[in-house]
Amino acid sequence: MNYSRKTGKLISTNFERYFMDWYKVALESEFFDNTRKVVQVAGRKVLVLRFKHEYLAVDNACPHLRFPLEQGTVTDDCGIICPFHHSAFDLRTGDVKEWSPWPPGLGRILGAISREKALKVYATKVEDGYVWVNPDFL
């Protein structure tokens, strides 16, 4: 079963099959909990993670200054913290949890360089032993 991370509703299999571009990105067996992998999907670098038995896919670039998120800290509440300026995002929705709090004092100035914006998230599914990502969904 595949659910939209934004609405929590089941996505129709027929709709998926005929109207969405899914990309096979990895074998399911390559992932254990907390495994992450950067893959190319439709010309984009996408960070695919397995978090508490759930597959998640997000843009690998932090929306603040476009630094890579692959080495970011994944939090227990399903967030990711940018390793550079510590901006934090929800991995399921992309919502901003905290915008550029670091370094102290200077973080607010750096945060003003780029307006607050959500992290891009992508639909995932596991089918036939593979992890799939849809770059144009959610």
Q: Where are the domains of the chain?
A: 13-134
**pTM for this entry:** 0.78
- Residue 45 clears pLDDT 60, i.e. is over it: yes
Q: Which residue type does 86 have? A: H
Three-class SS of residue 113?
A: helix
Binned at pLDDT 50, 70 and 90, residue 10 comes out as very low
Average pLDDT taken over every residue of the chain: 83
The two tokens of residue 95 are: 């919502």
**57-105 pLDDT per residue, tens:** 999 999 988 999 999 999 999 999 999 888 999 999 999 998 876 666 6
**97-136 pLDDT per residue, tens:** 988 766 666 666 666 666 678 999 999 999 999 999 998 8
Q: Which residue type does 102 have? A: W
Closest to 119 in 3D by CA, of 91, 84, 98, 99: 91
The two tokens of residue 105 are: 């004092």
Binned at pLDDT 50, 70 and 90, residue 34 comes out as confident
The verdict on domain 13-134 having CATH code 3.40.50.2300 is: no
pLDDT at 138: 54
Q: Who has greater pLDDT, 10 or 56?
A: 56
Q: How many helices (H) and strands (E) does the chain have?
A: 2, 10
Binned at pLDDT 50, 70 and 90, residue 18 comes out as very low
